[in-house]
Every structure is written in C-alpha cells, then in structure tokens.
Amino acid sequence: MNTAFLRAAALSALVLSTAARADEPQTTAWRILADLTTEIGPRLPGSPREAAARDWAVARLSALGLANVRSEAFPIQGWVRGEEQSRLTAPYPQALHITALGNSAPTPAGGISGELVYFPSFQALQAAPEGSLKGRIAFIDHAMRANQDGSGYGPYGQARRQGPSVAAAKGAVAVVIRSIGTDHNRDPHTGVTNFAKGAAAIPAGAVSNPDADLIARVARTGKPMQLALTLTGKPQANLPSGNVIAEVPGRDPSLPAILLGCHLDSWDLGTGAIDDASGCAIITDAALRLRAQGQPLRTVRLLWAGSEELGGFGGQAYAAAHADQPHALAMESDFGADRVWRVRFRLAETNRPLADRVAAALAPLGIVRGNTVANGGTDVEPIIERQKLAVIDLDQDGTRYFDLHHTPDDTLDKVDPAQLEQNVQAWTAVLGIVANEPGPLGGQ
Amino acid sequence: MNTAFLRAAALSALVLSTAARADEPQTTAWRILADLTTEIGPRLPGSPREAAARDWAVARLSALGLANVRSEAFPIQGWVRGEEQSRLTAPYPQALHITALGNSAPTPAGGISGELVYFPSFQALQAAPEGSLKGRIAFIDHAMRANQDGSGYGPYGQARRQGPSVAAAKGAVAVVIRSIGTDHNRDPHTGVTNFAKGAAAIPAGAVSNPDADLIARVARTGKPMQLALTLTGKPQANLPSGNVIAEVPGRDPSLPAILLGCHLDSWDLGTGAIDDASGCAIITDAALRLRAQGQPLRTVRLLWAGSEELGGFGGQAYAAAHADQPHALAMESDFGADRVWRVRFRLAETNRPLADRVAAALAPLGIVRGNTVANGGTDVEPIIERQKLAVIDLDQDGTRYFDLHHTPDDTLDKVDPAQLEQNVQAWTAVLGIVANEPGPLGGQ
C-alpha cells in the first residue's frame, strides 16, 4: 500500500487546479505545450491533424527565431481508427470500455462474438497448445505496476506488442488485453501491436483496468464467458507523414552537431500533452536558453519526429536522410514532463571528465548519476546506431506516466509547470557543456 | 497544493491493486457489493437492468435469512440514454468527451450546431439578458473543489440542476456544463437536471473536466467558438421501477421500527459501486450483525430504494405506501464507502442521553460528533418529513466521492475494504443502541 500511497501523493500534488490558469507560466516550453495541445490536439501518424501539426510546428519554430526550419516528408504504412464497442454477453451482460490497438485488423461492421478465454499473463498464452484458440477470443491479463523508471513497460508490454500475434498463431479470431497502464480509470490505453510475418492479423483491443478487473473476477467463477466485439479500425498504406527540423547554428559548423529528439505525432485519444508535446517543448526551450547565453560552439539540431507511435518511422527517416551528415551526440525527451531524477551516459572512456562535469552541473537540480548505459530513444536510436554517437539520457520520473500514456487522459492539466521547468533547466545545463565542448565526443 | 496532495494521498492509499483480489474480504457487505456490481452492473431507473437488480436483491436478501423480503412496484417518468457526441468545430477542431444529463431533451439524430457562449458560473448565466442566447449553446463553467463533507455539491451543482432550465429560458438551443466533479479524467459526470414548469426542455450535457479546461482556455482567446452536439437520449413515460424491502423482526412488534435506507438503482455509466451498492451493503451487513447479537427489541427495516437517481421516486413511493405504519427513526447510507468521520442527530431534547450513548459508542471508531442537524437522505426524507422521525446521520468522508460520482469510474476497485468495514461497524454500533431502546424516539 505504501508504494501506491506515495505514488498518488506525488501524482496529485502535481495536477493543477483548473482555476489556477490565471497564473499560467509564460515560458517557451509551456506556450508550446499549451498551444499545440489546444490548437491542434490529437495528431495520429499519417492523419490530416499530424500534417496540421507540422505546419503549426514550422510556424512556431520560425517565429521563435530558430534557423533552417523545415519539414521533411516521408510516407508511412498507417492505421486509421474506426468504431469501437465491446460487451461481455455471458455469464453477465456488461458493457466494456475498449479501444483498438494500432495495426489491429478490422472486425466486420456488425462485429464478431465468441468465447472469451482468460490468460493471466502473456506467458500463459504462449504456453497454450497450438490450435487451442480456434474460433475463440483470447484475453490477456497482466500485473504491471508503476515504477519510477518505467521498467514495467518492457516485460508487461509484451501482452500488447506480441500478444495479438501469438494469439492469432494459435487460432484466435480476436484478442483483448488488459490495458498496458497503471491507473484505475475507465479509459483504455491504446498503442501499437505488430503481427509476425506470416501470422494473420486479427482484431486486437485493450480494455480499461476496471473492465479487466471485471473480466478477471468473472473468470474466477469458472463460468464460460462470451464477448461481442466491434473494432473497425484498419491499416492504410501510403499515408503522408514527416519530420520537422530546426537549428541553433554553432560558431564552428565543421564540428559535428548535437541532436535533440522528441516526437510531434501522438495517439489520437488524448491531446498528446505528456506524449510528447512536452518533450518538444523541453528541448526547444532549452535550445533557446542556450542561444540566449551566446552562440554555442556546436550546432544544436532539433528533431520533432513524425509517426513515432506507429513504429518510429520518423527516426528511421531522419537517419536515412541525414546519414552523411556528422553528428556528435544525441539526446531525446519522450517520457512525459515530470522531473528529471537521473542522468546516464554513453560516452567514450576518454570523455569521462566531460560526464563528470555534466553530472556535477545537474546535481543542484536533484539529479543523480545512474550507472547503466544511456540509450537515447526511438527517434534518435537509428542515427545513434548508424553513427555510433555519444548519448546522454535525462531520465524523467515515470511513476505516473503509465497512468496517462496513450489514453484520453493525456491532456494539458496533467503537466506540472514546476517540473516542466526543472526539465528545461536540466537540458539547458547539459547543452551548456556539450554544445561548447571542442574535443571529440564519441559513444562507447 | 497541500489540500490536493493530502486528498490524493488518501485517495490512492485506498485504491486496491487489481492483483490483490486473492485476499478479497468475505464479509456480507463486500459480497453484496462485489456480486451486485459484477452480476448486474449498471441499473438505470426504469430499465430492465434495474428490474434484474430487484430480482437479484430479493434473492440475496432472502438467502441471507432476512424476513418479509419483497419488492414493491411503482411506475416512474423515466429517461433513456442515446447517442452522445460533441466536437468543438471552431476556432480549433477538438473532440469532446460528453454525456447527457438525465431529462435532457434529444437533439435530432444528425445533431445540432451553434455558437458556444462561455459563462464562468451559473450566476453569470443567470445575469445574461433575456433572449441573449437565442439560437446559441450555453457553456456553464464552475470551480467546484473536493470537500470532506461534500458541501460543494449543493452550490456548484446548480449548474447541472438549474442551469439547463435557465439557459432554455434565455433562448439557448442546448446547454453544456463542466461536469459536477472534482477529478481530472476524461470521463464526464452525468446526473439529473430539471426544467422548470413552462420552460422548454433542451438538450443538456456535461463534458469532462479536461474538456472543460480546453473550452475555458479557448474562451480566453476571445475567438468565437462553434460546437456540434448530438445527444439523442430522451424522457420516456411510465417505466417500471420498485423498492426492495427486508426486515430483522424485533421482539416487540408494537414498537415503531427503525428504517435504514440506501438505493439499488444507479446511473448507467459505471457499475454503481460507490453510488450506491456500498450503501445497501453497509446497512444490510449491519442489520445482520445486530441480529447475530440476539433478536433486537425493535424491528429493523431495510429499504433498498429504486429510481433515486432520477428524482428520489423510491423514497416518495415508500412514504406513500407505508404512511400508516409507525416508524421511530430513519438513517441512510448514500455517500460512498469511505469511512464515517462524523455523527449528527435529529432527536427530541429528551433523547439527549441516547445521543450521548451513541456518540460514545462511535468515538473508538474515530468518529466525531457534529453540531448541525441530521437530515437523512433522499430515500428516507419523505417518510421522515411525513412522520417527523428521529434521524441519525453517519457522515462519510466525501473527499474523493465527487471524483467518481455518476461516472464510468464508479466501479468496485474504488472501494477500500477496510473503510467499508468501518462503516459496517459504525452502523452496527448505532443499531445496537437504537434498536434496543424501549423509550420513545422522536425527531425535533
């Protein structure tokens, strides 16, 4: 109970009162975040709203005086949401709150129905005999809990990422999972799934945690369960997407640049405040504060990536388009807007003194040094891997991130201006060192 | 910030982990609550599910060995939910999460659209000139905050109870309010509204708090707002409802009975766990624990009322049907399942020693004595007023009640078994005194 207690204490100290908006912060970070979520809102990869967001971003970044602002288009294999309904029809009739996963195949417009088979975990589903789900609908439960470092998302997220593919291979006609989330609201969490090559794509959805609790309770009675399911969302090829790029030019253009990543697209259920308008807000405000301290030695390039949510397409497109340009170091902000609590590095051994200086600059902000290797994030990983770049991770407190991630609840009111500001200060402190470092920067 | 902090700390210490169900309590109260919400779920007044709940209740109360278990039918002026959609279409396109209020008139199936006029409060709407809303849609904001005693619901709830009627009188074609709730989820709060005699009924809905925040932010820009609204729910006359009654017979049937009230119906968005399966669970378990201590002197009658949510129809039907039967004292549980923190009385001055004994019995449970007059609640008030009954209120902690009230989030996982048990113990302690009191009990 203590963990839950502390966690929610932290959570709700941060949720702003709606009446407090008269004292809204006027930082660049807050204005980007508030205006993007208000004027554009949801911006699904490949959608007209993602395109509107690119136009918005180009206009805003230009208005802020950044250099070389441009949009770089690429096509994606997209997915469009449709109608979403589900009901337990036996043994007890109950409406369920469901949302389709990205890449879900469509049901017929009238829906399907079938026996619902309960699996307490992804591993239990894996252990089911081949063919045992023929004509049935699989339900995958899990026990993800909130962690500060978000480390539950990897293992428990298998239910979403691989569960539908595994269920399809065993004959299931559809799959429903407990949302990959840690809240207790009736708002299900969407997110992408992928079907293995050769596996049939089937309809795949997530129910909210209280709905999953209900299914688990009914499953414990041993009575057969029947589910009716309508999910008409479906893949759509060749949709337009794109990255937006902007720069603070350095004094020495011959030095490899510092690359800062975030993503502009969002899932369509919320307004993409914590995922990831806040990341774009943080890196942009930090770059501008760096510039305000005098022109940096190295160029700082901002990558507001497109179509991260459906498969990291923006980061891949960036790496392919910019493979011949030298980069020195990459960083990414894509884990909400709560405070940075840890810094981690991927630097050549010769850069240990640089890492020490960065860590020392962050200590007054309450940030500790981690001893595992930094990895960047989806939008910068492709260029990191291709060019073996140095990486610094500013790890944010993720304790409440998966309460909100990929849900309708990802809205502006969830961002705490004080923690957003701490992020900007941390990024500014790091940039002040690495963007003015004349010596070589290299990954491990 | 401190208030919000403490409040959410309290809240989330109480939310059960979904994995903890192996140690589910086996009290009668918990079993009623868990089984009613799982096997029946939502039970809108006048609906087939409310009828199913009555059958369930008669079966369960009979199985628990209560006496004179019966259902007492009455017809109601009902309301049925329809399709619900809303979008801000200008100046920024944004989907809104909306739900219709009970007694809302329907829009055409294709919806309506119109200019959205922002009012910061119900009082501001009242001050608008006559006719000024002709052809427009009114938006009513408010600043309700969580209070332990729930005292915000009265004044801020005017936006819902009277707002639509006032807007209609000024020419509005529809009205949208900020949910009467204190959470930050995308789940709007429903609830009943009433149109004054002679006022045209218009479509009326509530948006979630984050959606209301968005509307308020856009309103501050001064740009004209356009809203598209589809709410096809509508009133329906002559639907079947009913009360369920059960008794613990007393040793002296000539003594007026003790009446304990709760309501069996619920709004249809959630499963009615805190509103009000928990109330029925608490009073029933307490009556059974009283019986287990030996047959009480007075009969204790349980009233599981129907159709409370649409206008207190069950309590009115009970008072009319049982006007000629003597009652001594009435109590009601209809404010969730969080702990009782205060006791209040409405007793004849000669019963002050009885009140002192009750207060003394409750003190070890952490319950303080309040100095205002007890009022019972919607389901028992009609018989209280008719017969001038004595009343004792066991006031529950309402700090998080309006986070959940009338939303899809009113589900079993929100009930803390430890606090539910404290309620049952408090009710048992009071019953042990009042149901064995030979002298006259009287209200003020």
Other Cβ atoms within 10 Å of A290 Cβ, number: 23
Q: Tell me, what's the pLDDT at B21? A: 53
pLDDT on residue A24: 83
B75: closest CA of chain A, how far (Å) = 24
Helix (H, G, I), strand (E, B) or coil at A246: strand
Please give the Cα distance from B108 to B228 (Å, whole number).
Answer: 12
Residue of chain A minimizing CA distance to B270? A186
Sign of the CA dihedral with B159 first, then B162, B168, and B173 last: positive
Region class of A423: left (phi > 0), else alpha (psi between -120 and 50), else beta? alpha
Nearest to A187 by CA among A411, A416, A417: A411
| Cα atoms found within 13 Å of the Cα of residue A374, Cβ hemisphere only | 30
Domains and their CATH numbers in chain B:
2-78+237-434 (3.40.630.10), 82-232 (3.50.30.30)
Tokens linked to B248: 């613990």
The neighbour count for residue A134, using CB atoms within 10 Å, is 10
Q: How many CB atoms lie within 10 A of CB A53?
A: 28
Interatomic CA distance for residues B165 and B199, integer angstroms: 6
Q: Which residues of A touch B13 (CB under 8 A)?
A: 1, 4-5, 8
Q: What is the spatial order of strands in the sheet that A257-263 belongs to?
A: A67-80, A234-248, A300-305, A257-263, A327-332, A390-396, A340-346, A368-373
User: What pTM, to 2 d.p., does this model score?
Assistant: 0.93
Minimal CA–CA distance to A119: which of A82, A155, A172? A172
- Determine the residue of chain A that is closest to B90 in CA distance: A39
B94/A186 Cβ within 8 A: no
Q: Is B47 on the interface with A (CB under 8 A)?
A: no
- Measure in Å the smallest separation between the Cα of A65 and chain B Cα atoms: 24
Which chain A residues are within 8 Å of B220, Cβ to Cβ?
21
What does the pLDDT average to over B62-81?
98
Please indicate whether, in this complex, the C-beta atoms of B184 and A413 are within 8 angstroms of each other: yes
Q: Has residue B356 got a pLDDT over 60? A: yes
Q: Are B226 and B94 in contact (CB under 8 A)?
A: no
Residue B196 has pLDDT above 60, yes or no: yes
Do the beta carbons of residue B425 and residue B392 sit within 8 Å? no
Cβ of B151 under 8 Å from any chain A Cβ?
no
* Residue B41 sits at the chain A interface (C-beta within 8 Å): yes
Q: Which two tokens stand for residue B199?
A: 């006022």
Contact across the interface for B184 and A414, Cβ inside 8 Å: yes
Dist. CA A398–CA A396, nearest whole Å: 6
Considering only alpha carbons, which residue of chain A is nearest residue B21? A217
pLDDT digits (tens, 9 = 90+) for B126-152: 999 999 999 999 999 999 999 999 999
CA–CA dist B336, B317 (Å, integer): 24
- Which residue of A186, A223, A405, A415 to mutate against B (max B Cβ within 10 Å)? A186
* Tokens found for residue A144: 């993800």
The pLDDT value recorded for residue A329 is: 98
Residues of chain A with pLDDT under 70: 1-22, 444
Cα–Cα distance list, A109 to A33, A127, A135, A163, A229 (Å): 37, 32, 18, 24, 10
A-chain residues near B38 (CB < 8 A): 92, 94, 214, 217-218
**B414 SS3 class:** helix
Better-scored residue on pLDDT, B198 or B172: B172
Residue in A with minimal Cα distance to B413: A210
Strands in B368-373's sheet, in edge-to-edge order, are B67-80, B234-248, B300-305, B257-263, B327-332, B390-396, B340-346, B368-373
Written as one letter, the residue type at B257 is A
CB pair distance less than 8 Å for B8 and A13:
yes
Task: Report which residue type is found at A39.
Answer: E
- Quote the pLDDT of residue B84: 98
Is the pLDDT assigned to residue B297 strictly greater than 80? yes
Which A residues in the span 360-419 are in contact with B, Cβ-Cβ below 8 Å? 407-409, 411-414
Beta strands at A98-100 and A204-207: parallel, antiparallel or unpaired: antiparallel
Q: In sequence order, which residues have a C-beta less than 8 Å from that of residue B418 and are 6 or more positions away?
A: none
**Interface contact flag, A12 B9, Cβ < 8 Å:** yes
Task: Identify which of A12, A145, A216 has the shortest CB distance to residue B4.
Answer: A12
**Chain B residue whose CA is closest to A2:** B13
pLDDT attached to residue B5: 39
Summarize pLDDT for B379-435 with one digit per residue, the tens: 999 999 999 999 999 999 999 999 999 999 999 999 999 999 999 999 999 999 999
Q: Please, which residues 232-271 of chain B have a Cβ atom closer than 8 Å to chain A?
A: 270-271
Q: What residues pair up with A140 in beta bridges, in sequence order?
A: A119, A177
Per-residue pLDDT tens digits for B1-24: 344 433 443 444 343 333 335 678
The alpha carbon of residue A205 and the mean position of all alpha carbons in its chain are separated, in whole angstroms, by 18
Question: Looking at residue B444, what is its pLDDT?
Answer: 62
Handedness of CA A126, A131, A133, A135 (dihedral sign): positive
Instruction: Determine how β-strand A174-178 pairs with β-strand A94-96.
Output: unpaired
